[in-house]
Structure 1
Amino acid sequence: MRPLRYSINVTLDGCVDHETVLATEELHRYHAANLERADALLFGRVTYQMMEEAWRRSPTGEWPDWMEGWMIPFAETIDEAQKYVVSSTLDRVDWNAELLRGDLETAVRELKDRPGAGIYVGGVTLPLALADLGLIDEYEFLVHPIVAGHGPTLFAGLREQLDLRLVGRKEVGSGAVALSYVPGSSSS
């Protein structure tokens, strides 16, 4: 079974607004390496469209002028990855993507049952639903030394408390720390 991993940048006060954390070369390399551990990406509509707008290679094969050279490995990883999109409003997707329809739990369990290295999920709303269903196998929070004081917060509206066990920590740079957890008792 492929593990479903969730990774997100978060501030000290729990803000998960993607514009709050500054993009750095080290952060992009870290996330690119993480994504290479998976053979599929799982997005909700909003995250899919945001990622497509930013990281999809142009039809000519060129990257946008605004993109720094150190962003290209991350862009290539995202661009080339198989993507699954959960949406009730999109009629179709492309960009190596497939729409997931029907019952979310059933669709994601079927993805997890396929052979492979793993699935990464991004965003805020979809991971909340997946956490409520107990489908996330690993949580990674890149905690940045920022207090945003605004914006969407991590797992706002979660139905039940998540008991997680710390399985790894790593300093990433600029004071950020990657904390990895798996479901299970935190007292173990």
Structure 2
Amino acid sequence: MPLGVVIRRVPGVTRWARHVWKAVAVLPGASDANWKELRRDGDAVEFHATTLPLELFRTDTEAYLHGLSAKVPAIYVVMREGETDRPLDVVLVTASPYEAQDYADTGEELVEKMPMTDGLIAWIRDFIELHHEDEVFIKRRRDKKRVDLKQDGIGDARIRQTADVYRAPQARKETVH
């Protein structure tokens, strides 16, 4: 589903940042755009920055379920500092909180959380109902091998030990001749 990304520009509060940019909304089913001005309110300007596809994958239904179970279900917009004449490059829109967290962990991207519209919630829920399969948890069984019979890994086998490796080191006494 195509999602338009709305980004707001407001004046910065320090002399080092002339403007502050923030993603504020998504537009489901939007057509293509290239930083089209939507509205202006004093110094604040909102742009339809771009339209990207929201792709859902059947292997990620657990993440979508987790996202829908949140107090406010959200779509995540991943952005980077612009490399061309644009202030920001919108990289991705996703419904997966896990994928958004992966991008947020790198520190190179800016991840904004937008509330989902009711239509998006219904669309994602229908996708989950169609494709979600619960994975059965299989507990791993331990080997029956007894590992407590032999002390392995004490010291380095290449170094000859003449005494207990757990004893405290003692000062070496030198003899005078």
Q: Between Structure 1 and Structure 2, which shows a larger proportion of helix residues?
A: 1
Largest Rg, 1 or 2 = 2
Which TM-score band (shorter chain)?
A: under 0.3
TM-score (norm 1): 0.23
TM-score (norm 2): 0.24
